[in-house]
Every structure is written in structure tokens, then in C-alpha cells.
Amino acid sequence: MAETYIARSTAIAARLIGGEMMIMSAVDSTFFTLNEVATVIWHSADGQTPLAEIIERQVCGAFDVQPERAKADADRFVAELSQHGVLLVSDRPIAAAPSGESPASPTP
């Protein structure tokens, strides 16, 4: 089965506030807040690491969640964000990784 790669789009506004990632799509102004697990996936979306590996290492390794459940949640999360241009999805590594690398500004 083909791998899935995800990368953060630069067509967004994003900031980490109180441990939650706030994201607004510059494409359609849809606003999202990501929970702790989704925020981890977001930070790992470098376009180079397969989604399955992100789930295994970053999600299942750090949170008390079954792999099937984690995969289902991650698939839904990726589908929704990609629909609004917030995440880029491909079946091969995404070469042009986003240049805006500061969505993880620390919470004051």
C-alpha cells in the first residue's frame, strides 16, 4: 500500500496558544483549533516522514491510544485539513517543504 506524506501549507495563519494550535486557512478563512494529538501530527508534517510513521512514533508512542483508533483519527484529521488547503497530502515525499517554520511559537 502506498505511503501517505503530509506537509504544512504556507497558505495559513497559525499560532500555538495555551498548548493548542490555532490555524486559519488563507484559502477560505476556515478556522481550526487542534488538540494535543493533532498538534503533534501537525508539527511532524514535514513532507518527508510517512503519516504511518508519525502515528506510530509520535502518537502511539506518546499517547495512550490504540493504533487503529489513532490511524482513523489521523486520517479524518488529514482529510479535513487538506480539504481547506491547510495540509498538503501526497503519496510521495513532498520536496518543497513549507518555508514558514514558526507555527510553534511558545505560549507566553
Binding site for other proteins (CB under 8 A): 10-18, 20, 22, 24, 26, 29, 31-33, 99-100, 102-103, 105-108
Q: How far is the CB of 66 from other proteins (least distance, A)?
A: 28
Q: How far is the CB of 34 from other proteins (least distance, A)?
A: 11
* Min separation Cβ 48 and other proteins, Å: 20
Find the helix packing angle between 36-44 and 67-83, rounded to 10°: 70
Task: Pick the closer one to other proteins by CB: 12 or 55.
Answer: 12
Q: Which residues pair with 16 in a beta bridge?
A: 21
Cβ proximity to other proteins, 6 vs 55, nearer residue: 6
Judged by CB, which is closer to other proteins: 5, or 42?
42
Alpha-carbon dihedral angle through residues 28, 93, 80, 9, given to the nearest 10 degrees? -30
- The residue among 67 and 100 lying less far from other proteins, judged by its C-beta, is 100
In whole angstroms, how close is the CB of 26 to other proteins at the nearest point? 4
12 in Cβ contact with 59 (< 8 Å): no
